[in-house]
Structure 1
Amino acid sequence: MSKDYDNQRAGDLIPVKFSRLTRRGILLGLSLSQLVALGIGVTTLVWAFYAGGGMLIALSAPVWLCAASVVWIRIAGRPIVEWIPVAFWWMWKTTGGQLLYRRRVVKPRPAGSLALPGDMARLREYDDPITGAGMVHDPTASTLTAIIAVSHPAFALLDPGEQERRVSSWGRVLATVCRSGRLSMMQVLERTLPDSGTGLAEWWASHGNADDSWASTTYAELIDRAAPAGERHATTLSLSLDMQTAARQIRTAGGGIRGAAAVLRQEMSTLIAALRSADLAPSSWLTCGEIAVILRSAYDPAVAATLERHGELGQSLATAGPVAVNESWSRLRTDSAFHAVLWISEWPRSMVYPGFLAPVLLSTGIQRSFSLLCTPMRSDQAARDIRKKKTEYISDAAQRQRIGQIEDASQTAEFQDVLQQEADLTAGHGVLRYTGLISVSARTAEDLDAAVAAIEQAAIQASCETRLLVGQQAQAFTAAALPLCRVV
């Protein structure tokens, strides 16, 4: 992502531009799977030509025609050969009974574990005795995650100068994440939730004049009826420590999960300071009970307002997971809702202003979660990746020129993006990989289809391209709707 500082005055909002999604391959834009399939087809055709001529070529036609088809024919923007692993994975889950999950009521989960489906069943909870924060430990991925809620003013209502100042401050927060070298991911999760009306009720209880007059009675009844029908926005930041990268610091701090928690506390303190300098209002780090409420509300949105009104309910991670999960090819059904996850496959290709996601984030009447997964890259790793990309682009360009293939404008634009990333890295900026996911929820399948269509239209207004993550909705839902720094 780059900014345009030309012809900008002080206090003006500066537009930004995102790098294009890399579509380069190993050779002539073909990926490894495409080259393997194409190699099989060419080898079969050459063997048939030299071994027996026309008859063998005709007999081997199904092989090389099938190879050519899976390489060149595209479905939903992807060649068929790239759908083969998705199809095999889906068949394995179907035959292995992995599409259904039911809570074992009689046989509870072991103490300290999270009652979640799929590969998240391995997650463990850790209650930090110093900060009181609930931390989620993934022993397989060797990560430890802490979550914090953040409140902020409405960005769209600020004047351009204040918006630009806050964007620059947020950039410094991201730079802090990049410089650490011990963090595997930071997740920004923005959710719309049914409003329980507790905020209005508390305000009326403290500021209202309950004098049994007609106006007072009418206002109180209006709050009781209308407030629970509204919606509110909640934002959380999740910080995930890479325990393998920070192994030396963890051993110095005592080792084990306690040492990892001590190292993560250092990152948490640094993030708190960065958020406050960016004029954001972080709360205290979420406890295990508060994390449990978020997980329960994601799987069972119908009880979200009830859990908020009654603070003592749902405060256990051992029972926070779903009771039932049914996964299909294009959607997921949990306790009280249907869900579908969209991936932002293309960010805006032209210059846009920082509030370009407003059509998606401010859409009303739709229950959705927007998750931005920020993966920091070490400077040396980013430099090697950029050098590799430059070498591949230059070699591909030379190969295309040798065979007389016309240079594509999109390939030239991608190469310019790589050069811009190299310039930013040389100037001392950090490199983050962004993944945007949108989880849409509704009570019925018909309502879900309408909500997904509305979000897709809102994404078009935001100059973004979205794609439905078919065949992997369960895994995508955990990354898009849960603040656990999961990946797809």
Structure 2
Amino acid sequence: MSRRTKNNSHEPDATGSELVPVKFSRLTRRGILLGLSAAQLVTVGIAIATIITALYAGGGMWLAYTAPIWATAVLLTWVPVAGRPVIEWVPVAGWWGYRTTIGQLLYRRRIVNPRPAGTLALPGDQARLREYEDPTTGAGMIHDPHQNTLTVVCEITHPAFVLLDPAEQERRVTAWGRVLATVCRSGRIATLQILERTLPDSGTGLAEWWTTHGHPEDTSWAATTYAELIDRAGPAGERHATTLSLSLDMRNATRQIRTAGGGIRGAAAVLRQEMNTLTAALRSADLTPSGWLTPGQIAVILRSAYDPAIAATLERHGQIGHDLATAGPVAVNETWSRIRTDSAHHAVLWISEWPRSMVYPGFLSPILLSSGIQRSFSLICTPMRSDQAARDIRKKKVEHISDQAQRAKIGQIEDASQTAEYHDVLQQEADLTAGHGILRYTGLITVTATTIEDLDAHVAALEQAAIQANCETRLLAGQQAQAFTAAALPLCRQV
């Protein structure tokens, strides 16, 4: 399935004493003509051509003979399945059948013949990724030679947003808007990914607290017992970890890369400039970047995503699992609606509709603060250049006006949703004219569980949490493996 996203212009408000509600643009559902997509127009054309040919050839009898053809075309065009016309499922099912035939739904790690040095041991399209360690910062950079991108990951710490007073929340929202505006103005950023994960608590925080506040010289029974209890403490809860991934578009930065020396070293030098700019913007927004992750730290995140059972062990023991060459899964089995990796089952949900009404910035709290569910929430932001955004907005305006004229000719009434989409386009044009950036958002949620029964229960619970957040979610059927890499890994991958 092609990636469908929300277009939303970011317009930071002046800092005020009250929290200001915001509104997302609607997900456009317009087609090429009268709301029909290209595939629907093809099937409609087949149905009309068949009916006309039958009427000219033999009248009503031939119309009955050709009924299976034009009736099937009509069903493919207008009958919905899981919210989409049947014809739009044909490419998904066809690609799924092809992958099933050639055995791409199963992945097994090659033990005797490992992958070449410098590559990531990941399944599917991610096998082409290459690792590069920046000699200046020590950061691990992931190079995609096909997409011409170079990605770096940073861990972010921040206070609990929901516990702040409204004035402080509004100030932080405005500051975060400036961070996104910085990304939009760069022109060299391909993708910005915010990944928020729930992880089992390994007890490391307790151990660090005891090291800081405890008294090693105290040999009393209580102190000894307390130290042993903390030392043996295993996962007793869950914690939240947030990473921010920045992907450099090497095509748009060709001139700067050539000036910096060319090749991967030149790209790393250009990416360092973007890293410094983003770090300064994050600190001005009262977010604390914990440093750009090394290849070993990225390896731990990848290993924990595919093998959640080992996550606590990797955190407690310093250097175990700090090798990108072995950080991938040992086995992956993909089915139509879920994916099975080393020690867990996963399902990926797509946020197909953001809130249509005015909501406050903390509207995602029911999803992000859901307890007892291991999940990853990934927000993929794709900045659009000003000239590209202007062309896209002009194209949408022309399409809306043309569709409105066609509906008026055939006597079709324009509904409220079409009017709202047109007003969103006008608002985006006004924001772009005022100097704001245009971001394209994609929200993905990965649900993880040890059994299929628990997975189904957790997916149902998160779907209800999304309803409380005024969002609509859809299970990404037929593409779970690709969606998992985009939703659970901080590599700025696309679906």
Report the TM-score when normalising by structure 2.
0.96
**Which residue in 2 is equivalent to 1:255?**
262
Check whether the contact 1:4–1:16 (CA below 8 A) recurs between aligned residues. no
| Structure 2 counterparts to residues 140-159 of structure 1, below 5 A | 140-159=146-165
Higher RCO (CA 8 Å, separation ≥ 6 residues): 2
d(CA) in 2 for partners of 1:409, 1:223: 60
Structure 1 residue 202 corresponds to structure 2 residue 211: no
For these two proteins, the number of residue pairs brought into alignment is: 487
Q: Shift of residue 217 of structure 1?
A: 5.1
Q: Match of 1:96?
A: 102
Change (3 A) 1:233 1:24: same
Q: Distance in 1 between matches of 2:319 and 2:12?
A: 51
- Give 1:470's aligned residue: 477
Gaps of 5+ in 2: 1-7
Structure 1 range deviating more: 32-41 or 49-58: 49-58
What SS does the aligned partner of 2:141 have? Answer: strand
Letter in 2 for 1:398: A
Q: How does 1:222-233 map to 2 (within 5 A)?
A: 223-224=230-231, 228-233=235-240
Assess, with a 3 A threshold, how the Cα gap between structure 1 residues 91 and 248 changes in structure 2: closer, same or farther: same
Aligned-CA RMSD value: 1.7
Code of the aligned partner of 1:415: Y
Match of 2:33 in 1: 27
Deviation at 1:99, TM superposition (A): 0.4
Q: Aligned to 2:56, which of 40, 50, 55? A: 50
SS in 2 for 1:237: strand
Give the residue type in structure 1 aligned to 2:386.
S
Cα deviation, 1:183-221, whole Å, max 9, x if unaligned, reads: 110000000011111111121122124635465456446
Measured after TM superposition, the shift of residue 223 of structure 1 is 3.7
Write the letter of the residue equivalent to 1:119. D
Cα distance in 2 between the residues matched to 1:212 and 1:363: 41
SS in 1 for 2:45: helix
Give 3-state SS (helix, strand or coil) of 1:307's partner: helix
* Corresponding residue for residue 3 of structure 2: none
Cα distance in 1 for residues equivalent to 2:175 and 2:360: 16
Q: Deviations over 1:99-120 (max 9, x none)?
A: 0000010001100000000010
In the alignment, is residue 414 of structure 1 matched against residue 418 of structure 2?
no
Give yes or no for the alignment of 1:361 onto 2:377: no
Q: Distance in 2 between matches of 1:237 and 1:259?
A: 22
The corresponding residue for 2:134 is 128
AA in 1 matched with 2:74: A
5 Å matches for 1:240-251? 240-251=247-258
Q: Give the one of 396, 414, 431 matched to 2:403.
A: 396
Provide the rounded CA distance (Å) in 1 between the counterparts of 2:71 and 2:409.
Answer: 27
CA 4–280 in structure 1, closer or farther in 2 if over 3 Å, else same: closer
Q: Contact (CA 8 Å) 1:4, 1:15: kept in 2 or not?
A: no
Residues 331, 339 of structure 1: 8 Å contact kept: yes
Assess if the C-alpha contact under 8 Å between 2:9 and 2:437 holds in 1.
Answer: no
1:294 pairs with one of 292, 296, 301: 301
- Equivalences for 1:61-460 in 2 at 5 Å? 61-209=67-215, 211-213=218-220, 215-216=222-223, 219-220=226-227, 223-224=230-231, 228-460=235-467
Deviation at 1:357, TM superposition (A): 0.4
Q: Within 1, Cα distance between the matches of 2:228 and 2:237?
A: 15
Moved more, 19-28 or 45-54: 45-54
Aligned to 1:42, what secondary structure does the other structure show?
A: helix
| 1:433 partner SS | strand
Q: Give per-residue Cα distances to partners, 1:93-139, cap 9 Å, x unaligned.
A: 11110000000100011000000000100000001101111000000
User: Is the 2:16–2:171 contact (alpha carbons within 8 Å) kept by the matching residues of 1?
Assistant: no
SS in 1 for 2:372: coil
Deviation for aligned residue 1:55: 2.2
Q: Percent identity?
A: 77
- The unaligned stretches of length 5 or more in structure 1 are none
Secondary structure, counterpart of 2:242 in structure 1: strand
